[in-house]
Amino acid sequence: MDFRTDRQRVEGLGSARSGTDHHWKMTLSSIALVILVPLFIFTFGATLGSDYETALATYSRPFPAIVAILTLGVGWMHFKGGVQVLIEDYTQGGTRTALIVATTCLSYAAAAAGIFAIVTIAL
């Protein structure tokens, strides 16, 4: 006979308690991207098709460089969070862990490479 209450029987089997935090991070990054992507398109669109010196001059100014850095950083972190949810929903076991580690490494590496490139141009 089990003398535990219903709560004691299910304790530890419920939520991982990280869903709300993840939801807010994704919501805030979505809002940031709604603002940043049009700014990036306008600053990048002005240099699209121009020569190297014009592009270098454009991204040597602070505003276009900061917009591009923020767009890359926020965009890749939003990608990481979204793909992690996708992987958690559709895979399991060791495959899940390997895919999450791989996409996390990809996200950080791509963000770092893009930010490094823009900082190199800006300085």
Distances in whole angstroms, Cα of residue 52 to Cα of each of 15, 57, 114, 121:
52, 9, 17, 11
CB 77 within 8 A of CB 107: yes
Closest CA to 46 of 61, 31, 30, 29: 61
pLDDT in tens, the chain (123 residues): 667 777 766 665 556 667 788 889 999 999 999 999 999 999 988 888 889 899 899 999 999 999 999 999 999 999 999 999 999 989 989 999 999 999 999 999 999 999 999 999 888
Give every CB contact of residue 103 below 8 A, 6+ residues apart in sequence. Answer: 80, 83, 84, 87
Closest CA to 112 of 78, 81, 76, 84: 76
Domain range list for the chain: 18-122
Closest CA to 89 of 4, 8, 19: 19
CATH domain 18-122 topology: 3 helical TM bundles of succinate and fumarate reductases (1.20.1300)
